[in-house]
Amino acid sequence: MPRFDKFLNPAFCANNSTSPCPNKASKANSACGRCYLVVYCSKKCQKEHWPTHKKDCNDPLAHETWKPDWHTEDRTPNFHKNQGPSEQDLNKCKMSWWGSMPALDLLKLDGNEGDDAPPKMRLLFSSSHDIRNIVETVARLPDTYSGQCEIVMNGITSAIFAQNVLLVLTAFHFPPEEAVPIMIHLWYSALIPVSLLTGLRRKLLPLIAEACSEAARKRTNQLFKWIWKKNKAVLHVELMRDEWDRLGGFLKPPSYLSAATAACNRQDVMLASNRKDNLHRFLFAQPRYWRVSTMKFWRDGILLPFGCSRKAFDTPNPLASQPLHFTPQAINKIRIFFHASRSWPMPDSADPRTSWDLVEVCTGAYTASYPAKNDLYGRLFLYIRESLLGFCRQLSKRDIKLQLLSLDSLDLPEYFNRPGEHAGFDRIETYVTAEKDVLGIDTVLNISSSMLKPKIENPMAMILVLFIRDVEEMWKKDSLDKDVARAAKYLPEPETTDYNDADLLRNRRSSSFFCNVSKLFDLYKKSAGFDALSKYELKMRGNNTIVAHWPNRPGKYASQEVFDILEASGATGCERYVEWEWA
Ligand SMILES: [Zn+2]
Ligand SMILES: [Zn+2]
């Protein structure tokens, strides 16, 4: 049995408050029929656990009549008041490294090149937070494709980048069943089991030290490339010499921080009293028992099924304990800065639910056999586990080249258009860098088109661009009564017509799912000068083949379940993907 098997397949039976139930996970397949948050292996276990479980099962947040505090106290919610800068401090200067859009398969060979795929497909993620898109793309590589898949991921900040290097190194150097639980908790959990961290350090630190000693032979601080291999797969990491030196430090257990202090630091951010109205608004937009699941994760920050024991999670995740550093260039580019503090490094809005396809997480095949349907984070755990297992297994057998870089995205063309480098990418994903406050669409198409494979070599070559805030801003100027009425069909009737009525606010907010986004996007294109982009000889696809134009919209005939999931996902429906291909 692999050493970390108990973390890959934790004991699901929730009857573990005093000692863990010895029955195997597969046997714990009957959910509490009231809350559907926990599972048990037997009636006996359920009965034994009731004195503990009844607190969660009867949580007031899950009552039919629960309303946000501002509603019951009949006051204006905080998020409608102008807050002073000091009140926002805990969130303002932080960035989520989990990303805010569902992971996507950037290749989708079946609906694109199909059998005509070139023997080498090259993909570039030019500005990535984490590796989730790589995970989804590699995990879904069709068996029918026998060529090489080369993936370049360019990260944006050194601490987040270090996390990605460590995650991929883990995937490369452990068997899949051991790599997956390490990756899940290193990526998503605030506390991790000390044995996972020890195992990780024992395996990775010597590998990193070897690269460091080679890098030290370089006289100046310049980019230094190091390569690892696993069967046919190759991992190519390029860092500055001082970044190599710092890499191992990210796995150092933070000696100044106890598990209890780390948990408190996190709660200071996640449960800050001046953010209670925001939290209540978030909870109120979720199915009733999801709220209980949400609060458990917001309190303890451990990504596990609701009923699983947290006892082994005794060490602060060293990655979540690092103050994040931006390079001076990155600060100029994204106009964000960090305080070097020991506070939880992400804003309270960071939530793993936003980075995976939540409809799939709740209704798809990966989690179909898990009966606790309201255990949102348990479903996320299972979904991510399956995706990661797929990713790690592909790495063990496929011809995959992964290259991790941390360059300013403006410097990528110079890097890749060097003599001896490649002949262009088949896919380029640019995340939100095309938004007007980041690089803008003109700059993004300018640099990306110079790296795209020529049409004659691949007519399906494509640049993927995402707009989140830019389109939402257009909506804020344009909310219409008929959109509110369409959203109302899915929502409870408000009790009052009061301005602060929680149901009314919820209805108004979800009207963005039904607004005329095509019209808003046309307005946006005009204001952002899309007409002038024809100089790049690219055109916008009328029908996307990689990811839907509006992936978070419920659509005209959405079921109640799909609407509920999308509303609870935190999306607005105004998120727009554009696929650019050669004209
Ligand atoms: Zn049991
Ligand atoms: Zn229950």
What pLDDT is stored for residue 218 in this prediction? 80
Specify the range with the lowest mean pLDDT, choosing from 18-32, 365-379, 401-415, 461-475. 18-32
324 and 93 Cβ atoms separated by less than 8 Å = no
Q: Which two tokens stand for residue 379?
A: 């479903």
What would the pLDDT profile of 330-352 be if each residue is shown by its tens digit?
433 333 333 334 678 788 889 99
- Considering the domain boundaries, does residue 502 fall inside one? yes
Domains in the chain: how many in total?
Answer: 1
Give the closest residue to 503 by CA, choosing from 512, 490, 493, 511.
Answer: 493
What 3-state DSSP class applies to 139?
helix
Residue 112 has pLDDT above 60, yes or no: yes
> Ion ligand 1 — residues with CB under 5 Å?
13, 15, 21, 23, 41, 45
Residue 480 has pLDDT above 80, yes or no: no
Mean model confidence pLDDT for the chain: 89
Residue 516 has pLDDT above 60, yes or no: yes
Rounded to the nearest whole angstrom, what is the distance from the C-alpha of residue 278 to the centroid of ligand 2?
A: 26
Give the closest residue to 351 by CA, choosing from 568, 105, 134, 60.
Answer: 568
- Considering the domain boundaries, does residue 74 fall inside one? no
Beta bridge partners of 120: 148
Residue 140 has pLDDT above 70, yes or no: yes
Residue 105 has pLDDT above 90, yes or no: yes
Rounded to the nearest whole angstrom, what is the distance from the C-alpha of residue 13 to the centroid of ligand 1?
A: 5
Specify the range with the lowest mean pLDDT, choosing from 207-211, 329-333, 390-394, 450-454. 329-333
What pLDDT is stored for residue 327 in this prediction? 46
Mean pLDDT of 97-102: 89
What 3-state DSSP class applies to 44?
helix
Domain that includes residue 551, residue range: 467-582
- Considering the domain boundaries, does residue 42 fall inside one? no
Mean pLDDT of 1-22: 83
Cβ count near 219 (within 10 Å): 7
Cα distance between residue 60 and residue 182, in whole Å = 35
For residue 58, which ligand has an atom nearest its CA? 2
Rounded to the nearest whole angstrom, what is the distance from the C-alpha of residue 312 to the centroid of ligand 2?
A: 24
Residue 429 has pLDDT above 60, yes or no: yes
Helix axes 376-397, 288-300, angle to 10 degrees: 60
Mean pLDDT of 536-548: 96
What 3-state DSSP class applies to 324?
coil
- Considering the domain boundaries, does residue 57 fall inside one? no
Cβ count near 30 (within 10 Å): 17
Rounded to the nearest whole angstrom, what is the distance from the C-alpha of residue 284 to the centroid of ligand 2?
A: 20
For residue 21, which ligand has an atom nearest its CA? 1
- Considering the domain boundaries, does residue 143 fall inside one? no
Considering only CA atoms, give the Rg of the chain.
Answer: 24
Rounded to the nearest whole angstrom, what is the distance from the C-alpha of residue 25 to the centroid of ligand 1?
A: 9
Neighbour-count burial of 427, counting CB atoms closer than 10 A to its CB (0-12 exposed, 13-18 middle, 19+ buried): buried
Residue 24 has pLDDT above 80, yes or no: no
Residue 260 has pLDDT above 70, yes or no: yes
298 and 270 Cβ atoms separated by less than 8 Å = yes
- Considering the domain boundaries, does residue 272 fall inside one? no
- Considering the domain boundaries, does residue 415 fall inside one? no
Cα distance between residue 579 and residue 546, in whole Å = 8
Sheet holding 120-128, edge to edge: 223-230, 233-240, 400-405, 148-155, 120-128, 427-429, 462-467, 576-582, 538-540
What pLDDT is stored for residue 328 in this prediction? 43
Cα distance between residue 59 and residue 299, in whole Å = 15
- Considering the domain boundaries, does residue 17 fall inside one? no
